[in-house]
Chain A
Amino acid sequence: AQKITQTQPGMFVQEKEAVTLDCTYDTSDQSYGLFWYKQPSSGEMIFLIYQGSYDEQNATEGRYSLNFQKARKSANLVISASQLGDSAMYFCAMREGQLAGGTSYGKLTFGQGTILTVHP
């Protein structure tokens, strides 16, 4: 089973409008972290926002907010006031378990990605 699922291969939004990118996850861990990254055509991975499983408030970073619904295991990214520069691939990712000793702790599992296109 997919651990991270992004069901929207592509999304279109008008400039200045808000857009929601969907992400659902599957884990049996109590402690986990959820991330959103932006990947423009250059390939670099740009960190956008983080939500810890124990965080009670939804994370916000400027125009980005994460709609965290723990019971539904969803962590949707909301981008407000879209800009042309927001056009890129967006990835949801999950880190399971606590960061601790061991050789594989801390690895991120990525979703399939959503290509966002912002129209003028």
Chain B
Amino acid sequence: GAVVSQHPSWVICKSGTSVKIECRSLDFQATTMFWYRQFPKQSLMLMATSNEGSKATYEQGVEKDKFLINHASLTLSTLTVTSAHPEDSSFYICSALRGRHNHGYTFGSGTRLTVV
């Protein structure tokens, strides 16, 4: 079946540093990738949508300069949290859309980010 590999699964970083999270579709080409953020016991909130070769579309209230998204190929999308602060600590999860299938979403396993 379709697999999206997300790395790292967890990361601890110091305040002010940047962290890059990768999502790779292993056996299919992801036309679109979605990035979500989730606080403990809360819903998944969409941060941005990225399409291969074009700029990401950010949801209202998401700082595009802080959360840099790059979708350089059909199999790789990255989220970079720049100048991370403790309030950025959260669970980040990506989802890849496989072509035009009605329910062709595959999620990565998520990244737990802790900023100290």
Contact = CB atoms under 8 A, between A and B. Distances in A.
Judge: A and B partners, yes or no: yes
Interface string B36-65: 000001111110010100100100000000
Contacts of B32: 105-106
Interface stretch (A11-19, A20-28, A39-47, A76-84): A39-47
B44 A110 contact: yes
Chain A interface size band reads 20 to 34
B24 interface: no
B43 A110 contact: yes
B41 A43 contact: no
Nearest to A10: B41
A108 B95 contact: yes
B67 interface: no
Chain B interface size band reads 20 to 34
Nearest to B111: A43
A43 B112 contact: yes
B105 interface: yes
Given A45-B93, A113-B43, A103 B103 contact: no
A91 B44 contact: yes
Given A44-B107, A50-B103, A52-B102, A103 B46 contact: no
Contacts of B112: 43
B96 to A, nearest CB: 10
Contact of A115 (B41, B44, B91): B41
B9 to A, nearest CB: 9
Given A47-B105, A52-B102, A115-B41, A108 B46 contact: yes
B54 A103 contact: yes
A-B pairs, top 8 by smallest CB distance, nearest first, are: A45-B107, A50-B103, A43-B110, A103-B57, A110-B44, A110-B43, A99-B100, A44-B109
Interface of A: 33, 35, 37, 42-45, 47, 50, 52, 89, 91, 99, 103-113, 115
